[in-house]
Structure 1
Amino acid sequence: MKQIRVADKQSPLYADFEQLYRISFPIFEQRTEEQQLLAFSSPFYHLVAYVEDGTFVGFIAYWEFTHYLYIEHFAIHTDLRGKGYGSVVLKALQDSCDKRLLLEIDPVTDDVSAKRLHFYELNGFSANPYPHIHPPYREGFHGHDLVVLTTKGKITQDEYMQFARDLKEIVMCF
């Protein structure tokens, strides 16, 4: 599978990314187009599309910090879900660096959220015990409870607090 960096709106795979992004996340978890374009200007931000045999498979958007990578958004094309592509993408990201991966998921409340947690656990992630509210991306919405997952075991309280600061002071400012 081929990895292609999407660096701006003019990138050939931007439209594929945007279409999958809009259908994969609720509106309150989506950046506006202006916020997305601003994120591209950050040296911390990376958006990588995955293509196999000319077919857009999915994307992963992450922020690279000193000790970890924060996966902000990750989605596999709806027609390709359940076929192992998600695991391949996560493994490729894990193999590309020595840093811990960190992401957030909805709390387990139903079969879908339980399956999502199970998927991440199979891919080396552990749930952390810290209460976590992700700030809203858009006006008119409130922050929402999420569970922080990490590779390389659970994080300490200090590591969680560093992530919370990075999220508030860097990620959400772009």
Structure 2
Amino acid sequence: MLSFHRINNVSDLLFSNLFNLYALAFPTAERRTWAGLEYELNYEKRFFAQAILRDEKFVGLLNYWTFDRFFYIEHFAVSPTMRDQHIGTEALKMFKEQTKLPVVFEVEMPVDTTAIRRIQFYERLGFSVISHNYAQPPYEGDDFLIPMQLMCNDKHFAETHFGLIKETLYDKVYHYKEDRPLTPKEELESS
């Protein structure tokens, strides 16, 4: 039987399991550093890092954010040795049952068979790709934005409130400020 165990700080016995899978499953540009993850755990009350347990054994991770209008899954992964055992399906179904709000997350662009299969997996669980253009901001520094797609289990909400979702993710999750366009007066002054 699956269960979730909330990790509140890096001294939790399961944190090293979570971080090791996190580092294995996500490229450096698509995840936080140890210090970055520790910061969110210590100071951000909307952020939840959860170990997924099967019979009290660590089998995966589910990191998410709670906002007023939606939940955002930042990272979700199952241990490589535990894949193909329906753990991901069961964990996402459990998570959706616990949430009363729409659930949003990013997926890679469908440029290879792995990304396509991942999108199809989420579609089988009731999620849909959102039609708006989206890019993941860098977690740190001045790295480039990474083209991604958003998926949601309430497509109407996500399509209608895309601006709110994007602004919330950029501001609260990534701590990223988009460059605002110059006003006509500023354009004249800069030329």
Query: What's the TM-score, normalizing by structure 1?
Result: 0.95
Task: Measure, in 1, the Cα distance between the counterparts of 2:47 and 2:115.
Answer: 27
Task: Measure, in 1, the Cα distance between the counterparts of 2:24 and 2:158.
Answer: 34
Distance apart, 1:156 and its partner CA: 4.8
Task: Measure, in 2, the Cα distance between the counterparts of 1:136 and 1:88.
Answer: 30
State the aligned residue count: 174
8 A contact 2:102–2:157 mirrored in 1: no
Query: What's the TM-score, normalizing by structure 2?
Result: 0.87
Task: Tell me the equivalent position of 1:115.
Answer: 117
Residue 39 of structure 1 aligns with an amino acid whose one-letter code is E
Task: Measure, in 1, the Cα distance between the counterparts of 2:29 and 2:51.
Answer: 22
Task: Measure, in 2, the Cα distance between the counterparts of 1:169 and 1:15.
Answer: 28
8 A contact 1:71–1:101 mirrored in 2: yes
Task: Measure, in 1, the Cα distance between the counterparts of 2:24 and 2:68.
Answer: 31
Distance apart, 1:157 and its partner CA: 4.8
Distance apart, 1:53 and its partner CA: 2.4
Task: Measure, in 2, the Cα distance between the counterparts of 1:98 and 1:2.
Answer: 19
Name structure 1 gaps, 5 residues minimum.
none
Greater alpha carbon shift after TM alignment, 68-77 vs 146-155 = 146-155
| Cα RMSD for the two superposed structures | 1.5
Identity %: 24
8 A contact 1:2–1:52 mirrored in 2: yes
Q: Does 1:34 align with 2:35?
A: yes
Once the two structures are superposed, residues 35-89 of structure 1 have per-residue CA deviations (whole angstroms, 9 ceiling, x without a partner) of 1111112111011111112321101000000111000000000111121000111
Distance apart, 1:132 and its partner CA: 0.2
Q: Which is greater in Rg? A: 2
Task: Tell me the equivalent position of 1:14.
Answer: 15
Task: Tell me the equivalent position of 2:89.
Answer: 87
Task: Tell me the equivalent position of 1:155.
Answer: 157
Greater alpha carbon shift after TM alignment, 136-145 vs 70-79 = 136-145
**For 1:105, what is the secondary structure of its paired residue?**
strand
8 A contact 2:131–2:159 mirrored in 1: no
Q: Does 1:45 align with 2:47?
A: yes
8 A contact 1:49–1:60 mirrored in 2: yes
Task: Measure, in 1, the Cα distance between the counterparts of 2:110 and 2:66.
Answer: 27
Task: Measure, in 2, the Cα distance between the counterparts of 1:50 and 1:146.
Answer: 25
Distance apart, 1:165 and its partner CA: 1.1
